[in-house]
Amino acid sequence: MVNNHISNLIPPSGDNPSERKRRIGNGPLYLLSEVQKIAKVNTVLVTNRCKDDVHKLAWSLDDVAELVNELTNNNYKNSEWCRVTNGRWLACDAYVIIRDEYYEHLRKALQCEYYVKFAIGPTGKALLIVSCHL
């Protein structure tokens, strides 16, 4: 589920870690196939900003899970420590995906770039979405 090296990492201290301290490793922390299995069953939005972004998109949790299930390894951007609403740090993978979205009022499809950042919860049974926005 999680690459072995993540358990040895200590999250940054302080309120504003430098960009250098936030980055983790050179590849995904979580196996995408495991993330996608969990997304189908239990997806949780864990930051207020993420909840607001998903609301602005007029999406449900099923829509977020669908986006996660469209990701491929080629969509991987980076991994970093992210501070969530309760002040805890989560080791997250970030992905970027481009989708064609049809806009009825424009009567045409436009390419939209979505950014999604997530971690698997400590029990391994929940996908914690930290960020999901255009």
Name the pTM for this structure.
Answer: 0.84
Q: Tell me, what CATH number does 89's domain have?
A: 3.30.2310.40
Mean pLDDT of 89-103: 90
Q: What is the pLDDT of residue 38?
A: 95
* Domain of residue 39, residue span: 23-133
The C-alpha angle 51, 52, 56, rounded to 5 degrees, equals 120
In a domain, 75, yes or no: yes
Residues 6+ apart with CB under 8 A from 57: 63, 132, 133, 134
3-60 pLDDT tens trace: 434 444 556 665 566 656 788 888 999 999 999 999 999 999 999 999 999 999 999 9
In a domain, 70, yes or no: yes
